[in-house]
Amino acid sequence: MRRRIWGGKSELRSEHLGEKPPRRAHGRCSGRGRVRPGPAPTGGAGEPGAAARAGPGRERTKRGEGALPRRGRRGAARSGGGTHIPRTRTPRRAHAETLRRQRVRGERMRRLRPWALVLGGLLCACAGAGADAGAGAGAGPALRSYPHSAVLDGAGAYRLRWGRRGSALALRLEVRTRGYVGFGLSASGGMASADIVVGGVEGGQPYLQDYFTDENRVLKKDPQQDYHLEYAMENSTHTILAFSRELHTCDTNDKSITESTVRVIWAYHHKDMGEAGQNYHGSNRGTKSLRLLNPEREEVSSASLPFFDLTNKDVPVPDKDTTYWCQMFKIPVQHEKHHVTKVEPLIQKGHENLVHHILLYQCSSNLNDSVLDYGHECYHPNMPDSFLTCETVIFAWAIGGEGFTYPPHVGLSIGTAADPLFVLMEVHYDNPSFTEGLIDNSGLRLIYTPVLRKYDAGVIEAGLWVSLFHNIPPGMPEFVSEGHCTLECLEEALGAERPAGIQVFAVLLHAHLAGRAIRMRHFHNGEEQKLLAYDDEFDFNFQEFQYLEEERTILPGDNLVTECHYSTVDRIRMTWGGLSTRNEMCLSYLLYYPRINLTRCASIPDIMEQLQFIGVKEIYRPVRTWPFIIKSPKQYKNLSFMDAMNKFKWSRSEGLSYNQLVLKLPVNVRCSKTDNAEWSIQGMTALPPEIERPYKTEPVICSSSSSSSLHKIGNFSTRIQCSVGKIP
């Protein structure tokens, strides 16, 4: 049985948020917590320190209120009018004293200017800067400090920007409302047991309040306030809030922010949170899965680079829950080496939930253009033989993910004899509602450059071989499966191709609907290293590559273990490894460089001891059917492997015992080359490594905080206490 897996963005510029273009006049903080126009700024629009740069010292100089020009003072002194000179000083001594004071004041201003810029911005934020509509939506912290952004709703009314700042996360909300704005983190994507912050600007005063909800979705004020307001403003159409929070707060009511998927919840209302109590947000709410700690990546402008599209043409999607559609393409770039720098999904509008994943496989270069004539359902008995030559994954995209940008020193090579000429694009359509009449034209866009990069990228598929040998009993709140990229496979492939090792720079973790968490464990010389990648809040509908903060070296003799956690509490029958979303997988895709001749490093547990666990004694041999037929004992006679496993009376204790058995079973090694050949270790049996279970998570350093926050600039530090309005 062949294995196979799986189975644009609108920029809302903040200066355009209002109905009218914002005024360029920046404000100074007034005692009333609003913004009054200040002098014309000398800096860029929207910078919080603009008012500070146009401060009182510069105003006096411009109005002539400071010292007169040297010549004017001297002339006035000599004529005896205009300037009073103390009798105790001569004109020359007075002039020297004036110059000395100017030098001292100038030196002080130069030393304090960075502090003044930040202090001015912080004080304006605390006093409610931006409450005037005329202040302009561009005011506040510079957008460059938020490298990531996402529109959370379909109407474009709620935009989130964020970025990591040391041990804290900085967030900026831009919402089309003049009422309150709610934002939260939730394990389930709902209101139950959520970590929530609510803020806005009411009567010219900003407010920001830390809340949490219990399991019954009751909103409660958090005794420990861990969200810190940095900036707030309201104009005629929008409310903007900028705030921060430590990743780990020591507060049991807060959700720690990690590299795992985060289910963000959001809401807003056209009224503020006032004395009348909470205004229900109604339909102005939603949830979206994000990865808040994905490292900032260096974007190389691709606007002027050439590209080509690989898209399906009017594919009729059957009215069944799972369809894999395969279409062959020919790479148009030939005879000269180029590097693909970015791959973007081209998902037909309205089909965002229909297209579950897209895989791109390299096929045999001995094919001819006749294979391009038509597509066909994958894994079908009548599919073209040419499809069988396509085994090497060169790119993978899954639902919820955005475009993938390669690092500046790495690219996907095309155009040479060793590169793909024919590729197979596999699209997994997920249609659980059995909708009829769907026609799809989705695919991928590949952006490339003739300016070559230092390294060619490769992909290794690791984890569990997709097979019925991978199975999960029903009714289990937790069941763990492991797929091994074994020491034996890596030792042979890397030893022959790259003894110095390869560098992994991104990982895609993949499971199906029963998946709850996935970890990629890394062992070197038998000792466990830091997790290569993990997602403890896995969301089937949000799967994208994780960029590694630091590239990881994989050496000959290392072990890689893909560890998948599942829940089948709502299922009454076995869950089987397979292509459907109702089946399961446990896979990880490693993007690495330099490219070597290894495309698959996986395993599957031995089947006979699984059968013995449920009491099977004998099967019919030779095995002529799949699934094979059982001969004895009597209660399983003439049943298939699947039927026998389903017939067994599974309990949670039996499921736990079975799980412990499976994790210790010998594994069949899968170790494949890119040209459909196999390394000599392929098909051999190996023992899984001795590893600690469960995985011992690394301790996190949490930061207990209050409503004040410490800001440090150079050698200056101060504690700014922001005043926020009370919320009942």
Catalytic residues: 324, 510
Query: What's the CA gap between 301 and 322, in Å, rounded?
Result: 37
- Alpha carbon distances (Å) from 617 to 342, 628, 629, 647, 662: 54, 13, 12, 15, 18
Host H or E run for residue 647: helix 641-647
Helix axes 91-126, 70-79, angle to 10 degrees: 130
Given a contact cutoff of 8 angstroms between Cβ atoms, the answer to whether 555 and 498 are in contact is no
Candidates 330, 514, 546, 547; CA nearest to 422 is 330
In the numeric block, the tokens 């996402």 are attached to 150
Sheet with 181-186: list strands edge to edge: 219-221, 205-213, 194-202, 181-186, 262-268, 285-290
Q: Return the structure tokens found at 438.
A: 């769907």
Is residue 28 classed as helix, strand or coil in its secondary structure?
A: strand
End-to-end CA distance of the chain: 63
Candidates 666, 667, 680; CA nearest to 462 is 667
Query: What's the CA gap between 115 and 290, in Å, rounded?
Result: 34
Query: What's the CA gap between 261 and 249, in Å, rounded?
Result: 19
Candidates 655, 462, 474; CA nearest to 563 is 462
Count Cβ atoms within 10 A of the Cβ of residue 304 and give its class: 0-12 exposed, 13-18 middle, 19 or more buried: exposed
Q: Return the structure tokens found at 669.
A: 């090694």
In the numeric block, the tokens 């590169």 are attached to 419
Query: What's the CA gap between 422 and 331, in Å, rounded?
Result: 6
| SS3 readout for 79-114 | HCCCCCCCCCCCHHHHHHHHHHHHHHHHHHHHHHHH
Given a contact cutoff of 8 angstroms between Cβ atoms, the answer to whether 340 and 411 are in contact is yes
Q: Return the structure tokens found at 586.
A: 């446990």
Candidates 322, 443, 415; CA nearest to 377 is 322
**Residues near 688 by Cβ (< 8 Å), separated by ≥ 6?**
482, 484, 561, 603, 663, 664, 665, 666, 667
Q: What share of the chain is helix, strand, coil (3-state, %, to 5)?
A: 15, 35, 50
Query: What's the CA gap between 628 and 641, in Å, rounded?
Result: 6
Count Cβ atoms within 10 A of the Cβ of residue 639 and give its class: 0-12 exposed, 13-18 middle, 19 or more buried: middle
DSSP 672-695: E-TTS-B-TTTT-EEPPP---SS-
Query: DSSP strand E in 107-186: where?
Result: 148-151, 158-165, 168-175, 181-186
Biggest alpha carbon–alpha carbon distance for the chain = 126
Q: Return the structure tokens found at 689.
A: 């490594």
Query: What's the CA gap between 100 and 222, in Å, rounded?
Result: 54
